[in-house]
Amino acid sequence: PVVPRARGCAGSPEVVPTCERYAVRRLPFGRLADGDVAFFERLLPGRVVTGEEEVKPFNVDWLKSVRGCSQLVLKPQTTAEVSQILRYCHERNLAVSPQGGNTGLVGGSVPVFDEIILSTALMNQIISFDKVSGILVCQAGCVLERLSEYLEEQGFIMPLDLGAKGSCHIGGNVATNAGGLRLLRYGSLRGTVLGLEVVLADGSALDCLTSLRKDNTGYDLKQLFIGSEGTLGVITAVSILCPQKPKAVNVAFLGCQSFAKVLETFTTCRAMLGEILSAYEFMDEKCMELVETHLKLSSPVAGSPFYVLIETSGSNSTHDEEKLNSFLERAMASGLVTDGTVATDDKKIKASHLRERITEALTHDGYVYKYDISLPVGKLYDLVTDMRARLGQSAKNVVGYGHLGDGNLHLNITAESYSHSLLDAIEPFVYEWTARCSGSISAEHGLGFKKRQFIQYSKPREAVVLMQQFKAMLDPKGILNPYKTLPERS
């Protein structure tokens, strides 16, 4: 069931509870009129969506935990059309909610009230690809999996890989600075994105779509928009550096008897595998139980409190397999690992990617409270243990998994249904705990709507004020993705 978030539609109160917890006041934006719809229908013939049922899928997030009540979805195909849309909305003071694949997990991709939804779904063209440099230029609405398939045909891969790759858009990935499974090897989007084309709130287009690896002229403006969650501008095109496709990929799925062993295994793994290590993921036994129960998938290794998925990527299969086997022999002989299996061909590797299916399995377990945290690696699982002790029987399941290689924990708590008292027990405890460990309350999902009021747990007041000043400068009327990312200015 969808939890009510805010009802800013005509005839409803202007101040309402959000998730039965937060009161959100609709800001004084303009109201959509018949003349507005007529203008957009002339601008985008056949690409304007109205009608409650037709708009409904765009109003509800992927988790079905938050929703808005937009009455209009616009589907531009070009940057010029996005520019015209925003220029008009700026003049009319109409709020806009940019939306890509709508796979976000913090309520950042759907409206809060009646914002116009600007969907990039039809901006899905690959503009160019240079096989020498590995630089891809494409529109923001390209689906990540489609880009991956295109690049693999050219002998390259995308530098990021996500469980939502079949639906998410590259523009949304950049706007949220998505992390994913390949960050350990290829770094974050802040390093691999070379240039952006962005339309600002007043409709002016900023063309910083460079394809240069090095450009040291002035401020690096693209970094403002990477991770800004559509609050500073609408990303319309991306230039991104793509690595060559590895000739040899191996995946090992291992069982460990304690989280301390998971950490020791990582230290050994990093030392012995070095340059070919591309992913190091961990998950607890509860995660595997949920995948087996709800998705009917069997784990290749059973009976361990913790599991580790290691991926290597290199250019010489014999060399890589020798290194991996040497590591596995050391790990087994020293008691770090109690059981394991290795996959080397594509079909087996894809079948062993149980880690990607955990999020899906959780959605079948009831209402999910999701937390995406960065912590010092040694403390990563302590939060899961402490949360289990704190919640006891009030939660159905408390599970932990994530990208151990870069200190990213995904803490998930499930219950039969949404509970105000359970949320009270979780928040702000989870953020206070993270702050005490000098962690970040958002490792890769962003702040969106759900976390914006908690930013102070990770950023000093001075930094938040500076962010608000950037927002006021680039979007003085505040029409771009309002109620997201930053707290209201006091």
Q: State whether 39 and 134 are in the same domain.
A: no
3-class SS string, 295-356:
HCCCCCCCCCCEEEEEEEEECCHHHHHHHHHHHHHHHHHCCCCCEEEEECCHHHHHHCCHHH
When pLDDT is cut at 50, 70 and 90, the band that residue 349 belongs to is low
The arithmetic mean of pLDDT across residues 33-62, rounded, is 95
Rounded Cα distance between 101 and 446, Å, is 15
Whole-angstrom Cα distance, residue 283 to residue 401?
Answer: 4
Is 296 in the same domain as 325? Answer: yes
Q: Do the Cβ atoms of 74 and 117 come closer than 8 Å?
A: yes
User: In terms of domains, do 428 and 297 share one?
Assistant: yes
Q: Are residues 184 and 300 in the same domain?
A: no
Lowest mean pLDDT among 357-361, 383-387, 435-439: 357-361
Confidence of residue 359 (pLDDT cuts 50, 70, 90): confident
Q: Does residue 56 carry a pLDDT above 60? A: yes
* Residue after which a domain boundary falls, among 87, 119, 151: 119
> Per-residue pLDDT averaged across 188-197, rounded?
96
The mean pLDDT value for 161-169 works out to 91
Instruction: Return the DSSP state at 274.
Output: G
For residues 221 and 255, membership in a common domain is answered with no
Q: Is residue 33 part of a domain?
A: yes
Query: Does residue 460 lie within any of the structural domains?
Result: no
At 490 the pLDDT is: 67
Instruction: With residue 39 as reference, give the H or E element that holds it.
Output: helix 34-43
Number of domains in the chain: 3
Residue 482 lies in a domain: no
Element (H, E) at 226: none
Asked whether the predicted pLDDT for residue 58 surpasses 80, the reply is: yes
Beta strands in 404-482 (DSSP E): 408-415
Domain that holds residue 35: 18-119
448 domain-assigned: no
Q: 188 lies in a domain?
A: yes
Residue 104 lies in a domain: yes
For 19, what's the count of Cα atoms within 13 Å in the CB-facing half-sphere? Answer: 21
Single out the residue in 119, 134, 150 at which a domain terminates. 119
**What's the CATH number where 77 sits?**
3.30.43.10
Region at 335 (left for phi over 0; alpha for psi -120 to 50; beta for the rest): left
Are residue 224 and residue 350 in the same domain, yes or no?
no
- Residue 487 lies inside a defined structural domain of this protein: no
The pLDDT tens digits of the residues spanning 266-278 come to 999 999 999 999 9
Counting beta carbons within 10 angstroms of the beta carbon of residue 145, is it exposed (0 to 12), middle (13 to 18) or buried (19 or more)? middle
Report cis status (omega within 30 of 0) of the bond before 57: no
416 CB burial (10 A radius; 0-12, 13-18, 19+): exposed
What is the average per-residue pLDDT within 216-231? 96
| Phi–psi pair at 240, nearest 5 degrees | -140, 140
Q: 151-164 pLDDT, tens per residue?
A: 999 999 999 998 88
In a domain, 8, yes or no: no
The pLDDT of residue 11 is 35
**Same domain (yes/no): 145, 200:** yes
Domain of residue 143, CATH code:
3.30.465.10
Residues 427 and 313 reside in one and the same domain = yes
Q: Rounded to 5 degrees, what are φ and ψ at 466?
A: -65, -40
Query: Which pLDDT score, from 0 to 100, does residue 20 have?
Result: 38
- Residue range 230-237: mean pLDDT, rounded: 98
Structure confidence by residue, pLDDT tens digits, 390-414: 999 999 999 999 999 899 999 999 9
Q: Residue 117 and residue 69: Cα distance in Å, rounded? A: 10
The residue among 326, 313, 323 whose CA lies nearest residue 248 is 313
Q: Tokens 């500073």 — which residue?
A: 232
pLDDT category at 198 given cuts 50, 70, 90 is: very high
- Whether 296 and 320 map to the same domain: the answer is yes
The per-residue pLDDT for 180 is: 85
What average pLDDT is seen over the chain?
91
Strand partners, 446: none
Of the three residues 417, 437, 457, the one that is the final residue of a domain is 437
CA distance linking residue 179 with residue 166, whole number of Å: 16
Residues 284 and 430 grouped into a single domain: yes
Mean pLDDT of 100-110: 94
Give me the phi and psi of 485, to 5 degrees please.
70, -55
- CATH of residue 374's domain is 3.30.70.2190
Give the separation between CA 154 and CA 133, rounded to whole angstroms.
12
Between 433 and 63, residue with greater pLDDT: 433
Strands of 151-247 (E only): list them. Answer: 193-199, 205-208, 234-241
Q: What pLDDT score does 298 carry?
A: 82
Tokens of 385: 């243990």
Lowest mean pLDDT among 349-353, 368-372, 426-430, 440-444: 349-353
Instruction: Name the DSSP class of 115.
Output: P
Nearest residue to 442 via CA among 405, 409, 398, 488: 409
Asked whether the whole model's pTM tops 0.85, one would answer yes
The answer to whether 142 touches 170, Cβ cutoff 8 Å, is: yes
Same domain, 65 and 34: yes
The stretch 91-115 carries a mean pLDDT of 96
The predicted model gives 104-129 an average pLDDT of 96
233 & 252 share domain: no
